[in-house]
Amino acid sequence: MNFHQFRATTLQGREIDFSVYKGKKLLVLNTASACGLTPQYKSLQELYEQYKDSGLEILAFPSNDFAGQEPGSDAEIAGFCEMNYGVTFPVFSKRAVLGGDRDPIFAWLSEKELNGVESVAPQWNFHKYLVDENGNYVKNIAPAESPLNIEIINWIESKNG
């Protein structure tokens, strides 16, 4: 199983089959609108603008799993992201990223038995996961690390996923 086998619905209600991301490097993360790390949306948008034409996609998944920091509806989240940070990368419908009802995407990202690399569940909002052009899990990046972290930049710019 790889990441390209999933699908999800955006905040605007559009279903996306992740096979459209074949050939692209992906930064996948869980987000929240009322978190101390929420200003990372600005850095994420900067990263997206700089590298989207080079094959980077950022996929954000709002979640209310950490301290109730994403209480809004999908429409409220969409308005918040656009108005406050000018987000143009895909943001998907709110979902659970932890526990028994976690979304299958985050089960895959969190479990070595599924992704083949490591078991690391989101530690907090803005936990980042890197997925290569072939849909393979690469690694995770801690929530407090900036999206503009040199490790992320070097990975995006490397020729090998």
Catalytic residue among 35, 96, 98, 148: 35
Judge whether 35 counts as a catalytic residue: yes
Q: DSSP assignment, residue 67? A: T
**Dist. CA 98–CA 135, nearest whole Å:** 22
Structure tokens at 28: 């996948």
List the one residue out of 133, 125, 116 whose CA is nearest residue 98: 125
Which residues are tagged catalytic? 35
